[in-house]
A and B are shown apart, each in its own frame.
Chain A
Amino acid sequence: MFSGFMVNAWTVSGIVAVVAGVVGFFTVLRGSAFAAHAIPNGSFAGAAGASLVGVGTLLGLGVFAFVGALGIGLLGRRGRHDAVTALMLVTMLALGALFVSLGSQYAPEVYSLLFGEVLGISSNSVAPTLILGVVCVAAIGLLYRPLMLSSTLPEVGEARGIGTFAIELAFLGVLALATAMTVPVVGTLLIFSLMIGAPAAARSLTDRPGVAMALSVVLALAVVWFAIAASYETDWPVGFFVGTASAAVYVAARLWQVGRERYGRRRALGSVA
């Protein structure tokens, strides 16, 4: 399980989990779950189109992720944000459907783009993933203060000269970058589970932002590595384990939170009596 090509799988998925944990924390904080679903999902068209014209998958993914992010940001400024996000997403997906039908791709390739193929990662994808991952985390590090302020107290941010729209665009840009690097590993449909499940679980376990972000990275790592090990043992698709384990982690964290609140209240009542 730890030999040869599996080492690449462990390394690359580890990097992906760290990025998903960090970017996902802000996704949950800003309530951008829909954008986090739409951008990776829509960039599927980029991957399908790239193999049609014969350029690298990563380039296609990157271009479509950024076009999608820009479209959602700019069109959403006028009109209904969620409706625009949905329309942008399906238009890109429909282009993907066209590319798939025009090209000579077979169903298994479509499947692995959508649901990921972590066990087939080659050693030459480690370096690009690492570089993009570092860029992503560094971008979040640079944006940390303004992003935190405009996510939690947008009015105060505006008063201090932090444009809500500029921050939104910057964040969508980071999301697009994270998408381009993670999609080849976990698939367009599943990066979303990873970006939502673990950070949401972390947020319901602690109120302190720094701790929550660290916890979110740890949980994302746990989910991904568990999924790889389980997939290796059972031969079932890694996407199944990522999706269900993310949801399970969230449910467990919520139960813990509810239990703690109940217990705390009873103790408070007891001390009054």
Chain B
Amino acid sequence: MSPGALLGPVFAPGFFDNEAVHVALAIGAAVAVVTGVVGVFTVMRGQSFAGEALGDIGTTGGSAAALVGAGPLAGFVAVDVLAAAAMELVGVQRVRGRDLATGIVLGAAIGLAALFLYLDSTQGTGGSSTVTILFGSIFAISSSTIPAVVALAALAVGLIAGLYRPLLLSTVSPEMAAARGIPVRLVGALYLLALALATALAAITIGTILSTALLIGPAAAALRLTRRPLRAMLAAIAIGIAATWIGIVLAYDSYHWPPQEHGWPVSFFVVALVFALYLLSGLVEWRREKGA
């Protein structure tokens, strides 16, 4: 049997020649690298809610960008960075009351998003922008966005790499970090900036309100497989890329699934795969604990 016949049922015809697929694969991989690296720290620091909030707040940016005719990525980045600064000011750095600070900023931002989306729909840009911003559409990204995505990805990974040691210490033990003279609050603020960038990137691939899946899922699964941060990052990147790419393949195939008119959303496959991999990692962890 030839390899083509074997792979035929997996890759629908035209998969490898389709430019939208190429762009989606490239952006998916770049984003998975960033979310893997940043996400491990997000999970270790217990800041999943901040990540989730920044993702949702991206909606405000995306809808505002649609209003003025700019691309969604610019809106996501601008508003997420602003929101991260607002959370830092309201007091996200204290563990106590942190969820509350996040929640208040999130609530206000969603209110604004409601207004912008409404104005978008009255301006005749088409109501479809609501669904696109919220749930993403990776096949609709133009190849001209790739340089911006790669640059932002490099910036976020560079931030984490540059901060690695102080960030790790202030994550594991803020007291010890402070005793060694590390500016814990500054490190936390810079980390929040990297988180804002990672969330904005995740938002263009699978949508603002689903972006947390890529940020938290692979990292949480990886941290169940290994306790070492660097290994966890590599594992998270691998899980993220696997989920995104398999999701893209399945979504491409699903054009032939019922109901026939259109394909199933990519974001659904990606998130479902991430969740399945998280549950699977729990099984691995459980078996190892039982063996030990």
Chain A residues proximal to chain B, CB less than 8 Å:
28, 31, 33-34, 36-38, 41, 78-80, 82-87, 89-91, 93-95, 97-98, 100-102, 106-108, 110-111, 114-115, 187, 189-190, 192-193, 196-197, 200, 236-237, 239-244, 246-247, 250-251
Q: Which of B126, B207, B278 contacts A87 (CB 8 A)?
A: B278
Q: What DSSP secondary structure best describes chain A's contact surface?
A: helix
Given the known inter-chain contacts A34-B48, A200-B100, A247-B111, please indicate yes or no for A237 contacting B264, CB distance below 8 A.
no
* Extra pairs beyond A247-B107, A247-B111 (20, CB < 8 Å): A33-B49, A33-B102, A36-B103, A79-B220, A80-B220, A82-B46, A82-B49, A83-B48, A86-B51, A90-B271, A94-B267, A97-B210, A98-B268, A107-B126, A107-B127, A110-B131, A111-B130, A190-B114, A242-B111, A246-B104
Interface residues of B (CB under 8 A from A): 43, 46-49, 51-53, 56, 99-100, 102-115, 117-118, 121, 126-131, 134-135, 207, 209-210, 212-213, 216-217, 219-220, 223-224, 259, 262, 264-265, 267-268, 270-272, 274-275, 278, 282
Q: Which residue on chain A has the smallest CB distance to residue B216?
A: A86
Q: Are A115 and B114 in contact, CB atoms less than 8 angstroms apart? A: yes
Q: Could you tell me if A240 and B127 are in contact, using CB atoms closer than 8 angstroms?
A: no
Question: Is the CB–CB distance between A87 and B49 below 8 Å?
Answer: no
Q: Which A residues touch B53, using CB under 8 A?
A: 37
Q: Are B111 and A240 in contact (CB under 8 A)?
A: yes
Contact of A197 among B107, B114, B134, B219 (CB under 8 A): B107
B128 proximity list for chain A (CB < 8 A): 107
| A193-B110 contact given A100-B131, A236-B115, A237-B115, CB 8 Å threshold | yes
A114: chain B residues at CB < 8 Å are 134
| Interchain CB contact under 8 A, B216 and A244 | no
Q: How far is the CB of A256 from chain B (nearest CB, A)?
A: 15
Task: For A84, list chain B residues within 8 Å (CB).
Answer: 220
Residues from chain A with Cβ under 8 Å of B111 in the complex: 190, 193, 239-244, 246-247
* Cβ contacts A to B, 30 pairs, < 8 Å: A33-B99, A34-B48, A34-B49, A34-B52, A37-B49, A37-B53, A37-B103, A37-B106, A79-B282, A82-B49, A84-B220, A86-B49, A87-B212, A87-B213, A87-B275, A93-B210, A94-B265, A94-B268, A97-B135, A98-B268, A100-B135, A101-B265, A108-B127, A111-B130, A114-B134, A190-B107, A200-B104, A244-B111, A247-B105, A251-B104
| CA–CA, A251 and B43, complex, Å | 29
With a CB–CB cut-off of 8 A, which chain B residues contact A80? 43, 46, 48, 220, 223
Task: Give the residue name and chain of the B residue nearest to A31 (CB).
Answer: B99
Contacts of B106 in A (CB 8 A): 37, 192-193
Minimum CB–CB distance from B111 to chain A (whole Å) comes to 2
Contact residues of B: prevailing secondary structure = helix
| A236 and B268 contact, CB distance less than 8 A | no
Q: Are A237 and B265 in contact, with the CB atoms below 8 A?
A: no
A247-B130 CB under 8 A given contacts A91-B275, A108-B121, A239-B110? no
- For A98, list chain B residues within 8 Å (CB): 264-265, 268
Whether the pair A87, B217 counts as a contact (CB closer than 8 A) is: yes
> Which A residues touch B270, using CB under 8 A?
94
Knowing A80-B46, A101-B264 are in contact, say whether A91-B104 is a contact too (CB < 8 A): no
Contact: A83 with B110, CB < 8 Å?
no
Q: How far is the CA of A239 from the CA of B207 in the complex (A)?
A: 20
Which residues in B have their C-beta under 8 angstroms from that of A196? 100, 103-104, 107
Cβ–Cβ contact A240 & B112, under 8 A = yes
Ranked 10 nearest A-B pairs via Cβ: A243-B111, A107-B127, A193-B107, A239-B114, A94-B271, A247-B108, A240-B115, A82-B48, A90-B213, A83-B220
B118 touches A236 (CB 8 A): yes
> How many angstroms from the CA of A98 to the CA of B259 in the assembled complex?
12
Chain B hits for A90, CB < 8 A? 209-210, 212-213, 216-217, 271, 274-275
Of the residues B52, B109, B274, contact of A89 by C-beta under 8 Å: B52
On chain B, the residues within 8 Å of A244 by CB distance are: 108, 111-112
Let me know if A111 and B213 touch, CB within 8 A.
Answer: no
B220 touches A240 (CB 8 A): no
Residue of A nearest to B214 (CB): A90
Q: Are B110 and A189 in contact (CB under 8 A)?
A: yes
Q: Are A97 and B265 in contact (CB under 8 A)?
A: yes
B282 / chain A contacts, CB cutoff of 8 Å: 78-79
Q: Point out which of B102, B107, B224, B265 has the most chain A C-beta atoms below 10 A from its C-beta.
A: B107
B248 to chain A, nearest CB (A): 15
- In the assembled complex, which residues on chain B have CB atoms less than 8 Å from the CB atom of A242? 111
- In the assembly, what is the distance between CA of A135 and CA of B268, in Å? 35
Residue of chain B at shortest CB distance from A189: B110
Question: Known contacts A28-B100, A237-B118: does B112 contact A95 (CB below 8 Å)?
Answer: no
Q: How far is the CB of A207 from chain B (nearest CB, A)?
A: 15
A33 to B102, CA, bound (A): 9
